[in-house]
Amino acid sequence: PSPVRLADYRPPDWLIDTVDLDISLHPTATVIRARLGMRPNPAGREGSPIVLDGDELVLKSLALDGERLAGNAYSVTPSSLTLLAPPQRPLVLEIETRLDPSANTKLMGLYRSSGTYCTQCEAEGFRRITYFPDRPDVLAVYTTRIEAERAEAPVLLGNGNKVEEGEVPGTSRHFAVWHDPWPKPCYLFALVGGRLDRVSDRFVTATGRDVELGIYVEPGKTARAGYAMDALKRSMRWDEKAFGCEYDLDVFNIVAVADFNMGAMENKGLNVFNDKYVLATPETATDNDYASIEGIIAHEYFHNWTGNRITCRDWFQLCLKEGLTVFRDQEFSSDQRSRPVKRIIDVRLLKAYQFSEDAGPLAHPVRPSTYREINNFYTATVYEKGAEVVRMLKTLLGPEGFRNGMDLYFERHDGQAATIEDFLACFADATGTDLTHFALWYAQSGTPQLTVTGEWNPAENSYRLDVEQTVPPTPGQPDKQPMLIPLAIGLVSPSGEDLPLTLADGTSPAGGVLTIDSARQSFVFRDVAERPVPSLNRGFSAPVRLASNLSTDDLVFLARHDHDPFNRFEAVQTIAFAYLIEATQAVTSGRNLPGPEALIAALAASLADPALDPAFVGQVLTIPSEGDIAREIGGDVDPDAVYAARRNLRRAVGTALADPLVGAFERFAAPGPYSPDAASAGRRTLRNTCLSLLAEAGAGDGIARALGLYRAADNMTDRLQALMTLVHYAPEHRDEALGDFYERFRDDPLVIDKWFGIQAQIAEPGTLDRVRELTGHPAFSMRNPNRVRALIGSFATGNPTQFNRADGAGFDFLTDTVLGLDGANPQLAARLLGAFKSWRVLEAGRRAQAEAALRRVAGTPGLSPDVTDIVTRSLA
Ligand code: DPP
Ligand code: ZN
């Protein structure tokens, strides 16, 4: 397919005001009757044909204003239906199509998940239900009648409010009619039909609207939906307080399904979720699962305003809803949990997924200017970097300016399909700020690199910061302009106080934020009587890479004294990265490993500081992952050397700090039964991090403690962490522990996913065979995306030494899997292939193996557009 370009955008030629659907569900022959109330768009091209998108549809009949259309009045291709010369006036088009939901393995459009009928329409799934202008700037009011066998689908759900229901006389069928008064693009359409149990609750909005809440799950699983319901109510309240956004229908439903390509989907009034992000009990879900459920429930709910009420003009604007909504869900979780710890976790994820994407062949701007397959742009860059851009906007404008801009956005664009320009104009207008330069964050890809040199001048009582910025070349963008970067800083005095920041001209940067906007800049601060240590990019105010002339002693000082908790954490990370990079080089060249004393001292200080939040200490003690280290090395990476360097460091830490680690493990034991709250979860993070270090080092009875924890655990967090510790560091207990875990949870697919994932991540040469064998396990299925991601995704993205085996067998396994899956589920296949996103940083031998595997994919005939796009860009 030829690329779609932002520059080619044109308004639609025809608009649709109303969509009336009559959908008769049948396992293999579902009938869809669509009545589209259309009119020519005054902003479109005059005299245009009506061109509708379609995909794998069978057209049964077509009528215009009640008259069946003659065969020469329209043309049908595999991807379109065109009315060649329609009258240029309002008209009603009636289309009947038929489809087979049971055969829909792509999980786009209308399909069946464990027998339940459900839909997924973002980005381009509605065209698989009926012929339609499948683009987000065509907004219509939908009324949907759903009919099904009562026995097969007693529950029938649609968008909006239910306005009618009843029996179909003389049959065993029944129906429900749903009406959604809010005009919406077709990607927000949804229906569900099935045998489902319901958890009910209610929520009264700020202005008194009584909303009926429902979460629908597989029969027998209602007890697992309580946390999701609680998270939903907290999200609804929070959005009223934080953004003035109130819910706008009488019903809000969520349905959990087992087969889902993504995490969840924000369909108007009827969110459909991957069941992984709804179902939780202490025995089956980890603290991280609970946090993900809270964040994703919030995210989809928040889309009601940022995405649904104001949607995207075209798919290039995806970050308009996604970056903004991720920012909103991050803020929600920060308010519900620990703000500093949430920031640390988010930045870790940003670096792991987005920085690596931005540094490789799949790099693209937050708002791309061209795409071949939009499904491949639901990326860390659009989502997570998109959220960082919104965060920077808030940092630059301040909380009040930001809120005023958001208020104006809601007021000005409610009911519209908007662009990034529209969004930025609201902030510019609300605050009188020129955001032209800032807008480059949306257009220019690549992670900016800042190099900061600080120097104290005792003779003049001044401190000077020289800042250099570069933005690396990325695909299609060889030359870059300097960005506008909000750099939050502090100057920390020897006694640990923040010095007042007074520039030479007597002004102070507002909020301690320097505006970096050129390739080189200098800032001179006056009245600095003692040598300070600069704390740079506080709170990770900008998503940049930072190098500075801070010494290890300076970093150790910041780790203890910085008022900014993020930078206390980051200081330790910086020391750890410097050590690990040096240690990896030493392994590669057979030299003696450097001594990790400075790092160990910094870790010991955190562990010993009773004022620190255990969740925070848990993060500090978490040694950068192999992927993180490879990313920081940036080229000619030998994953085996990285693994060895990291393992040696963890052993050194576990050995040197055995006593305090044991002390923390014992001190933070849970005082009572399991609770998923952030403070309790933080204590578990710290304990389990300590346990893992001890076990790897063979110190402090780590293995015995892990065995004890595994057996006694009253919750999945502890049991899973103990299991991982045993599997990785106590091979003699591995099979028994894995067998026990399987027997306990064999009837619970979401828990068995964890069991698949752990085995796929064992850093041993036997793992590839193990993973191959597990693909034949009765609990595994290539048809279920969660199973595939748990086993094969974990192997490809969570096991660097084995996926990147020097003999190329890991690469071949993945590409074989991708090719085998592509016909059935191209979206999932393309996602898996994304595991190659950093192949160019590997050392020459592995790089050649990776390239050969990718070329083999590229040379395979009949690839989907999804896989073609990823493989082509990966090799470019
Ligand atoms: N729009 C979904 C989400 O990010 C994904 N399609 O919430
Ligand atoms: Zn989203």
User: How remote is the CA of residue 375 from the centroid of ligand 1, in Å?
Assistant: 11
- Tokens encoding 674: 């399991």
pLDDT confidence tier of residue 284, bands split at 50, 70 and 90: very high
pLDDT, one tens digit per residue, over 21-69 is: 999 999 999 999 999 999 999 999 999 999 999 999 999 999 999 999 9
CA of 324 to the centre of ligand 1 (A): 12
- Distances from the Cα of 220 to the Cα of 285, 329, 749, angstroms: 17, 30, 14
Examine domains 311-443 and 746-876 and report if their fold is the same.
no
**Rounded mean pLDDT, 732-736:** 98
Quick check: CB of 388 below 6 Å from ligand 1?
Answer: no
Q: Measured between alpha carbons, how far is 710 from 787 in angstroms, rounded to an integer?
A: 24
- Cβ(262) – ligand 1 distance below 6 Å: yes
- Tell me the CA–centroid distance for residue 357 and ligand 2, in Å: 19
Regarding the beta carbon of 321 and ligand 1, being less than 6 Å apart is answered: no
Q: How do residues 177-216 score in pLDDT, each as one tens digit? A: 999 999 999 999 999 999 999 999 999 999 999 999 999 9
Instruction: Walk across the sheet containing 533-536 and list its strands.
Output: 513-516, 485-492, 533-536
Percent above pLDDT 70 for the chain: 100
pLDDT in the model for residue 75: 98
In angstroms, what is the span from residue 137 Cα to ligand 2's centroid?
A: 18
**Is residue 1 scored above 90 in pLDDT?**
no
Q: Ligand 1: which atom is nearest the Cα of residue 303? A: 7
Sign for the CA dihedral angle at 759, 761, 765, 771 comes to: positive
Residue the block writes with tokens 């193990």: 770
Q: Does 124 sit in the ligand 1 pocket, CB within 6 Å?
A: no
| 4-195: CATH class | mainly beta
Tell me the average pLDDT across 7-14.
Answer: 98
pLDDT band at 534 (very low <50, low <70, confident <90, very high): very high
Count CB-CB contacts under 10 A for residue 470: 14
Residue 633 pLDDT grade (very low, low, confident, very high; cuts 50, 70, 90): very high
Helix intervals (H) in 337-459 = 339-349, 356-358, 380, 386-413, 420-431, 440-443
Whether the CB of 322 sits within 6 Å of ligand 1: yes
pLDDT of res. 791: 99
Burial class of residue 219 in the structure, from the number of CB atoms within 10 Å of its CB (0-12 exposed, 13-18 middle, 19+ buried): exposed
Catalytic residue among 94, 124, 294, 300: 300
Predicted pLDDT at 523? 98
**Best probe residue, ligand 1, of 188, 265, 292, 327 (max atoms within 8 Å of C-beta):** 265
User: ω into residue 123 within 30 of 0, thus cis?
Assistant: yes
The finding on whether 707 has its CB within 6 A of some atom of ligand 1 is no
pLDDT tens digits for 471-500? 999 999 999 999 999 999 999 999 999 999
Range 449-542 has CATH code 2.60.40.1840: yes
Active site residue 300: yes
Residue 380 CA to ligand 1 centre (angstroms): 12
Complex confidence, ipTM: 0.98
> How far, in Å, is the centroid of ligand 2 from the Cα of 8?
25
122 close to ligand 1 (CB < 6 Angstrom) = yes
pLDDT tens, 756-767? 999 999 999 999
How far away, in angstroms, is 508 Cα from ligand 2 center?
38
Q: Which residue, among 77, 267, 14, 66, has the nearest Cα to 158 in the 3D structure?
A: 267
Residue with CA nearest ligand 1 atom 3: 265
3-state DSSP helix/strand/coil % of the chain, to nearest 5: 45, 20, 35
Ligand 1, atom 5: nearest CA belongs to which residue? 265
pLDDT score at 68? 98
Task: Kindly list the domain boundaries of the chain, sorted by start residue.
Answer: 4-195, 311-443, 449-542, 746-876
The vertex-105 CA angle with 157 and 74, nearest 5°, equals 80
Closest listed ligand to the CA of 272: 1
Q: How far is CA 620 from the centre of its chain?
A: 23
pLDDT band at 773 (very low <50, low <70, confident <90, very high): very high
Q: Given this model, what pLDDT does residue 804 score?
A: 98
Amino acid identity at 226: G
Q: Which residue has a Cα nearest atom 1 of ligand 1?
A: 265
CA of 135 from ligand 2 middle (Å) equals 17
Q: What pairing do the DSSP bridges indicate for beta strands 449-457 and 545-548?
A: parallel
Pocket test for ligand 1, best of 188, 261, 266 (most atoms within 8 A of CB): 266
Three-class SS state of 198: strand
Residue 345's pLDDT is 98
Q: pTM (2 decimals)?
A: 0.99
- The CATH number for 746-876, chosen from 1.10.357.140, 3.40.1280.10, 1.25.50.10, 3.50.50.100, is 1.25.50.10
3-state secondary structure 241-260: HHHCCCCCCCEEEEEEECCC
* CA of residue 63 to ligand 2 center, whole Å: 37
Report which ligand 1 atom has the smallest distance to the Cα of 300: 7
319 pocket-lining for ligand 1 (C-beta < 6 Å): no
* Cβ–ligand 1 contact at 264 (below 6 Å): yes
Residue 565 banded pLDDT, cuts 50, 70, 90:
very high
Tally DSSP H helices, then E strands, for the chain: 29, 31
Atom of ligand 1 nearest to the CA of 123: 6
What pLDDT is attached to residue 326? 99
Return the pLDDT at 261. 98
Please name the residue whose Cα sits nearest to atom 4 of ligand 1. 322
Write the CB contacts of 128 (distance below 8 Å, at least 6 apart in sequence): 54, 55, 56, 57, 99, 104, 106, 108, 109, 110
Cα–Cα distance, 132 to 312 (Å, whole number): 17
Q: Binning pLDDT at 50, 70 and 90, where does residue 502 land?
A: very high
CATH code, residues 311-443: 1.10.390.10
Rg (C-alpha) for the chain, rounded Å, is 28
With a 6 Å cutoff on the Cβ, whether 266 touches ligand 1 is: yes
Please tell me if the CB atom of residue 265 comes closer than 6 angstroms to any atom of ligand 1.
yes
Triad 585, 586, 589: Cα angle to 5°: 85
Position in ligand 1 atom list of the atom nearest CA 322: 4
Pocket perturbation via mutation, ligand 1, pick of 262, 267, 308 by most ligand atoms within 8 A of CB: 262
pLDDT tens for 640-682 read 999 999 999 999 999 999 999 999 999 999 999 999 999 999 9
Reported as a pLDDT band with limits 50, 70 and 90, residue 233 is very high
Closest CA to 537 of 526, 545, 529, 528: 545
